[in-house]
Amino acid sequence: MNSQATEQPNVQKEAAEQAVIEKRREHLKNESTRIIEIAGNEPHSALKCIHQLSVAGGATEATYIAIEQRIVADQDSAGAYHLALLAQNTPDLPIDARQLIEMVVNKGDNQQRLALLKNLLLPPVDMIKEQILASNDGDAIGLMNTYLQINPEGYGSQHMLSSGQSDQIVPLSPGN
């Protein structure tokens, strides 16, 4: 009798936990459908979609793919920056982070390039350096040189933070 008395609350607890999981799964599925619709129908909506994805707490693979497609269609370097940062922290995302990083380096501004340099775990230092130097932007070149003096390999800020140095990781907003 005692084992039945303790098993019943456990069964009820497991059922309640499963119901919570199912409710969350349904919520994420609904949010994913909504975000996919926004990405598919609204030009220049990548940042909005990434924000909605963060608020929802996750999404389906199709959602990430739809956001990446919106970024590529719009050639949105700010969206590419944010999705690339998400991809580095979630390695199983079905997106091409390399393509997004190259978009930021080649089409973004120097603020975005410097942010990539600081915030990616292993940024493409030579590509970023080449683009910043080609811009002839003295301020950006100075900031880049200062950063590379203390971090010549270009290991991102996460590496610097773990090695005792401090740097601030800040999200980028579009410059418009």
In 148-159, which positions are buried (b, 16+ CB within 10 angstroms) versus exposed (e)? Answer: eeebeebbbbbe
Per-residue pLDDT for 145 more than 80? yes
Residue 114 and residue 98 share a domain: no
Residue 88 near residue 100 (C-beta atoms within 8 A): no
Per-residue pLDDT for 1 more than 80? no
| pLDDT given for residue 157 in this prediction | 60
Question: Quick check: is 136 in a domain?
Answer: yes
Domain endpoint, select from 76, 104, 132: 104
Question: Quick check: is 25 in a domain?
Answer: yes
| pLDDT given for residue 90 in this prediction | 83
| pLDDT given for residue 164 in this prediction | 45
* CB-based contacts of 67, cutoff 8 Å, min separation 6: 35, 39, 46, 49, 50, 53, 79, 83
Per-residue pLDDT for 92 more than 90? no
* Among 40, 86, 80, residue whose Cα is nearest residue 59: 86
Give tens-digit pLDDT for 160-174: 444 444 444 444 554
Residue 85 near residue 53 (C-beta atoms within 8 A): no
Q: At 2, is the pLDDT very low, low, confident or very high (cuts 50, 70, 90)? A: low
Give tens-digit pLDDT for 58-84: 899 999 999 999 999 999 999 999 999
Question: Quick check: is 93 in a domain?
Answer: yes
φ/ψ of 154, rounded to 5, equals 75, 20
Range of the domain at 130: 109-170
Question: Quick check: is 139 in a domain?
Answer: yes
Question: Quick check: is 175 in a domain?
Answer: no
